[in-house]
Chains A and B, each alone.
Chain A
Amino acid sequence: MIVIKDVHKRYRTDHGPGKWVLQGVNLTIPSNVNVGLIGSNGAGKSTLLRIIGGIDHPNKGQVERRCRLSWPMGQGGLEPSLTGRQNAKFVCRVHGHQDDLTDRLAFIQDFSELKAAFEEPVNTYSSGMRSRLQFAMSLAFDFDIYISDEVTAAGDAAFRDKAAAAFKSMANRAGLIMVAHSDSTLRQFCEAGILLYQGKAQWFDDIEEAFKAYKDTIKK
């Protein structure tokens, strides 16, 4: 379960503090629900994910993480000068998997289908290869809740099918908080929705309701 209490966030700009991106977000996200974040560009979706993931901090308010929570997957997290294997090793070690390192690495190499490229530096990868690696790493660990920032938009058609199936089974077994540009992806994986609008967040048990509310905010 994740409890978000009165989170405020604004960024520093060259002209002093910017406008509030999040202004008093209160949410309780249970562990067993897949929830999609909905909002227009710049509404603070990625910001909220980063704050939930603990890599950005609110100016005010707090986030309690009462479960094992993944890092925000899909955005960065790869050191360009290291090889795919070295990056994967780093993530395994940070998450306390020193003992079963070999198994996890074998899984990541196998799932990402990088083959020999797994031993090449990440800065030689194409964007598809990078996201395949990120995707494989995100599946290699057990979390109670996964945070996904556009993680499914990866690879070619064959890989996408495999990825979607794996993602679905993961989403069935654990909770998921996701941002995606396409509505169909959100509908495919999520049952609940959170609408971000003017710095506030609103919870909907049914994602269709959230989409309906989102359409209403656009009309205004």
Chain B
Amino acid sequence: MSEVRNPMVVSFAVWKAIFLREALDRLFDMRAAWFWLLAEPVLHIGFLVFIFTVLRMRTVGNADVAVWIIVGMLAFFLFRRTAVQVTYAVDSNQPLFTYRQVKPFDPALARAVLEAFLMAIISTIILSVAALLSHDTWPHDPLLVLSAVFGLWLFGVGYGLVASVLMALVPEMEHILKILMLPLYLISGVIMPLVVIPQPYLDLLMLNPIAHGLELVRAGFFPYYHTVQGLSMEYLYAWAIVSLFLGLMLYRRFALQLVMK
């Protein structure tokens, strides 16, 4: 009968199929699901920009406060959405593992790429609208922005992979991880500029790789931005790569427990 397909060909076919299936789900699952994907960051940003400017705080560390919030929020959303989507990738695709071509890692990868794709579109829209409202939203160092954003995304994927295996092995982990996610919004410097925090507390907060990522993205946007001391791209990438490989290893070891009851 027909010839045997090359394993790589099978993998690409599966990735494409899952990517399209996930995109449909993410954009058209509920009524106007695509609208809420855009509305969530817009509402967060709008609310914070309103509060900050009403308090007559027009600049943060030499940067336009509106752009400062937009950039930080978008970078944070990229991390959080990727992390959460990858965490639940296997759970949400349970029926599709009936086809043995589909491996547990495939939906995780498809979701991570989809999230990056969607956030790129959402970020472009929001930054363009801000530019039309006469904010300067063009990054002065686009490569720095891209590498920091990529690091955040990679860490999101790694976190999601590790989290989904932990949750499959120890169900209680779901509560703990949710509790951990909540203050992340505050301690990563999305809302509050980390430069205002005194030592020794700043050093503690800078253990968080997401804080590094957000500040680096901002440093790439604003030419004379007063950033936190000890900012390190290597630190962000160390977390990203270690978590990614730990996650991949856990997937390899516990792939069956993820799929089976």
Chain A interface residues (CB < 8 Å from chain B): 53-57, 68, 71-72, 75-82, 86, 89-91, 93-96, 98, 142, 144
User: Is the Cβ of A81 less than 8 Å from the Cβ of B98?
Assistant: no
Q: Which residues does chain B contribute within 8 Å of A82, judged by CB atoms?
A: 21, 24-25
Binding-face segment, B7-15, B68-76, B147-155? B7-15
User: Is the Cβ of B101 less than 8 Å from the Cβ of A86?
Assistant: no
Which residues of B, 19-48, contact A by the 8 Å Cβ criterion? 20-21, 24-25, 29
User: Is the Cβ of B98 less than 8 Å from the Cβ of A76?
Assistant: yes
Given A57, A94, A144, which contacts B13 in the complex, CB threshold below 8 Å?
Answer: A94
Q: CA–CA, A81 to B17, complex, Å?
A: 15
User: Is the Cβ of B17 less than 8 Å from the Cβ of A78?
Assistant: no
The 6 closest A-B pairs by CB, nearest first: A54-B100, A93-B17, A77-B98, A76-B98, A71-B99, A90-B17
User: Is the Cβ of B1 less than 8 Å from the Cβ of A94?
Assistant: no
Given B14, B96, B260, which contacts A77 in the complex, CB threshold below 8 Å?
Answer: B96
Also in contact, A77 and B13, with CB within 8 A (given A71-B100, A95-B101): no
User: Is the Cβ of A94 less than 8 Å from the Cβ of B99?
Assistant: yes
> Is B200 close to A, CB under 8 A?
no
Q: CA–CA, A56 to B259, complex, Å?
A: 9
Please name the residue on chain A nearest to B13 by beta carbon. Answer: A96
Which residues of B, 225-258, contact A by the 8 Å Cβ criterion? 256
Q: Which residues does chain A contribute within 8 Å of B13, judged by CB atoms?
A: 93-96, 98
Listed A/B pairs (13) with beta-carbon separation below 8 Å: A68-B4, A71-B98, A77-B96, A79-B96, A86-B21, A90-B18, A90-B20, A93-B13, A93-B17, A94-B17, A94-B101, A95-B101, A96-B5
User: Is the Cβ of B98 less than 8 Å from the Cβ of A96?
Assistant: no
The secondary structure that dominates the A interface is loop
> Is B109 close to A, CB under 8 A?
no
Minimum CB–CB distance for B256 against chain A, Å: 6
Q: Which residues does chain A contribute within 8 Å of B93, judged by CB atoms?
A: 79
Q: CA–CA, A89 to B5, complex, Å?
A: 19
Q: Mark B72-105, 1 if CB is under 8 A from A, else 0.
A: 0000000000000000000001011111111000
Chain B interface residues (CB < 8 Å from chain A): 1-2, 4-5, 9-10, 13-14, 16-18, 20-21, 24-25, 29, 93, 95-102, 256, 259-260
Q: CA–CA, A72 to B5, complex, Å?
A: 20
User: Is the Cβ of A80 less than 8 Å from the Cβ of B95?
Assistant: yes
Q: Which residues does chain A contribute within 8 Å of B1, judged by CB atoms?
A: 68, 142, 144
User: Is the Cβ of A75 less than 8 Å from the Cβ of B98?
Assistant: yes
Q: Which residues does chain B contribute within 8 Å of A86, judged by CB atoms?
A: 21, 24
Minimum CB–CB distance for B208 against chain A, Å: 35
Q: Which residues does chain B contribute within 8 Å of A71, judged by CB atoms?
A: 98-100
Given B17, B21, B101, B256, which contacts A57 in the complex, CB threshold below 8 Å?
Answer: B256
Q: Which residues does chain B contribute within 8 Å of A91, judged by CB atoms?
A: 99
Q: Which residues does chain B contribute within 8 Å of A78, judged by CB atoms?
A: 95
Q: CA–CA, A71 to B13, complex, Å?
A: 16
Q: Which residues does chain B contribute within 8 Å of A54, judged by CB atoms?
A: 100
Q: CA–CA, A78 to B17, complex, Å?
A: 14
Q: CA–CA, A76 to B96, complex, Å?
A: 8
User: Is the Cβ of A56 less than 8 Å from the Cβ of B9?
Assistant: no
Q: Which residues does chain B contribute within 8 Å of A75, judged by CB atoms?
A: 98
